């Protein structure tokens, strides 16, 4: 059975020791008309990532999905995903972990440029740009001009021992030791609400935390590969890549892989 508690931010928490996916539960709550709620679990048995990938969610992480109360057009939703990344980085930095953002929605620690690695082929995509600390999975339903509901799922490897982590991932515990998960979640939600209330500040803050901009990257869209220098992130969240044949704008939904080259 779920336990309910209040966070200081105006959110009611529905806490589960174990659940399939907090995003799935948050979808149900969203469809019921609930807003400003967070579904939190200690462990997920069917955690989901982007592009139908599975998401390892052992006990000790921050697995949380919040149903926001948005009055924004569907086309602006990518901005909320960027905001969630910024909020997670804010919370990690508040506890002393120098996290950065990899477009479109990864939170990384460490940022090893290629030049420092002689064995690039032996290194996987994620490790080349750092180890993954967190990911964001935003879901919505609605019309082009207005979303009817919007939820943001955050998966943050918080108190997870290094041996329980997937390859190329890290955790707050590995970086600095165990953290107060409730306090970290509180910071994420406060920061996310502040950003959503001031959408014009989101991209600027995203740029400041980015470890993608300025890098030469290769983006696989499933249909083609775009290689060039990542020069900017533009409203509402697309990546601008400067290629040999001019600037290409890549939308987050079209990105299957992005790796530094």
- What crossing angle do the helices spanning 181-197 and 77-94 adopt, rounded to 10°? 140
Report the nearest approach of ligand BTN to the CB of residue 211 (Å). Answer: 15
Report the nearest approach of ligand BTN to the CB of residue 249 (Å). Answer: 22
Among 55, 103, 149, 206, binds ligand BTN (CB under 6 A): 55
Among 30, 92, 137, 219, binds ligand BTN (CB under 6 A): 137
Report d(CA 91, CA 195) in Å as an integer.
Answer: 13
Among 9, 13, 21, 205, binds ligand BTN (CB under 6 A): 21
Check binding of 110 to ligand BTN (CB under 6 A).
no
Check binding of 11 to ligand BTN (CB under 6 A).
no
Pick the stretch among 20-28, 30-38, 208-216, 243-251 that binds ligand BTN (CB under 6 A). Answer: 20-28
Report d(CA 12, CA 257) in Å as an integer.
Answer: 35
Residues sharing a CB contact under 8 Å with residue 125, sequence separation 6 or more, in sequence order: 168, 257, 258, 259
Q: Which of residues 85-104 bind ligand BTN (CB under 6 A)?
A: none
Report d(CA 53, CA 160) in Å as an integer.
Answer: 20
Report d(CA 62, CA 59) in Å as an integer.
Answer: 9
Q: HEC states along 115-156?
A: HHCCCHHHCCHHHHCCEEEEEEEEEEEEECCEEEEEEEEEEE
Residue placing its CB nearer to ligand BTN in the complex, 50 or 181:
50
- Dihedral angle of Cα 209, 247, 49, 176, to the nearest 10 degrees: -20
Report the nearest approach of ligand BTN to the CB of residue 166 (Å). Answer: 11
Check binding of 16 to ligand BTN (CB under 6 A).
no
The token pair at 188 is 């994420």
Tell me which residue has its CB nearest to ligand BTN: 135
Report d(CA 61, CA 153) in Å as an integer.
Answer: 13
Residue placing its CB nearer to ligand BTN in the complex, 204 or 256:
256
> The dihedral of CA 185, 139, 13, 45: what is its sign?
negative
Q: Which of residues 57-86 bind ligand BTN (CB under 6 A)?
A: 57, 63-65
Residue placing its CB nearer to ligand BTN in the complex, 47 or 58:
47
Report the nearest approach of ligand BTN to the CB of residue 119 (Å). Answer: 25
Pick the stretch among 149-157, 200-208, 210-218, 221-229 that binds ligand BTN (CB under 6 A). Answer: 149-157
Q: Cis check for the bond before 236: say yes or no (omega within 30 of 0).
A: yes
Residue placing its CB nearer to ligand BTN in the complex, 150 or 228:
150
Q: What is the largest CA-CA distance in the chain?
A: 57
Residues in contact with ligand BTN by the rule CB under 6 A:
21-23, 44, 47-50, 53, 55, 57, 63-65, 105-106, 135-137, 153-155
């Amino acid at each position: 059975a779920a336990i309910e508690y209040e966070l200081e931010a105006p959110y009611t928490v529905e806490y589960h020791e174990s659940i399939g996916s907090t995003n799935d539960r948050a979808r149900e709550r969203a469809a019921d008309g609930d807003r400003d709620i967070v579904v939190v679990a200690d462990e997920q048995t069917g955690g989901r990532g982007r592009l139908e990938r599975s998401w390892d969610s052992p006990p000790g992480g921050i697995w949380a999905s919040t149903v926001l109360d948005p009055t924004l057009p569907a086309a602006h939703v990518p901005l909320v995903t960027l905001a969630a990344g910024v909020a997670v980085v804010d919370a990690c930095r508040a506890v002393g972990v120098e996290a950065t953002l990899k477009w479109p929605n990864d939170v990384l620690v460490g940022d090893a440029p290629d030049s420092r690695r002689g064995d690039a082929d032996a290194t996987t995509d994620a490790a080349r740009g750092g180890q993954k600390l967190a990911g964001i999975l935003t879901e919505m339903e609605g019309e082009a001009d207005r979303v009817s509901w919007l939820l943001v799922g955050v998966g943050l490897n918080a108190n997870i021992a290094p041996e329980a982590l997937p390859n190329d991932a890290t955790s707050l515990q590995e970086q600095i030791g165990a953290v107060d998960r409730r306090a970290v979640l509180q910071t994420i939600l406060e920061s996310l609400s502040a950003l959503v209330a001031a959408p014009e500040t989101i991209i600027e803050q995203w740029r400041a935390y980015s470890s993608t901009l300025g890098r030469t990257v290769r983006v696989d869209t499933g249909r083609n590969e775009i290689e060039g220098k990542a020069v900017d992130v533009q409203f509402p969240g697309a990546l601008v890549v400067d290629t040999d044949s001019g600037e290409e704008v890549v939308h987050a939904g079209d990105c299957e892989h992005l790796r530094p080259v």
